[in-house]
Amino acid sequence: MSDSILEKGKTSTSLNEESAKPYFEERIREITYLICMEKTSKEIAEVMSLSVRTIEDYRAIILEKTNSKNIVGVIKQAMASGLVDDELLKAKFNGRI
């Protein structure tokens, strides 16, 4: 899991990371955090001011980047990497979720 996209400052090499923008990686971390908080795609879309379809696209990207078969695998990686306990993300979404 050392290449996990969920670890702050570390990225996966499964996609073309050299062209990825920093906000894209942060957006993935935010959506993954909200998934771990048991939010639906609709709820995440509302909080992040995005469409449900965009959130579904991000979910697919997250599955691919983490090499997970399902969301449970993503959550396991998020927990192992400490994403669920990330104080900055907690503060960012406190009161919004």
Q: Which pLDDT tens digit goes with each residue over 27-48?
A: 999 999 999 999 999 999 999 9
Q: Write down the mean pLDDT value for the chain.
A: 83
Query: Where do the structural domains in the chain lie, given as residue ranges?
Result: 17-93
| CATH class for the region spanning 17-93 | mainly alpha
Average confidence (pLDDT) over 71-88: 91
Percent of the chain with pLDDT over 70: 78
Query: What's the pLDDT score for residue 13?
Result: 47
Is 79's pLDDT higher than 60? yes
Helical segments of the chain, H only:
22-36, 41-48, 52-65, 71-81, 87-93
DSSP 8-state code for residue 18: G
Structure tokens at 51: 């469409």
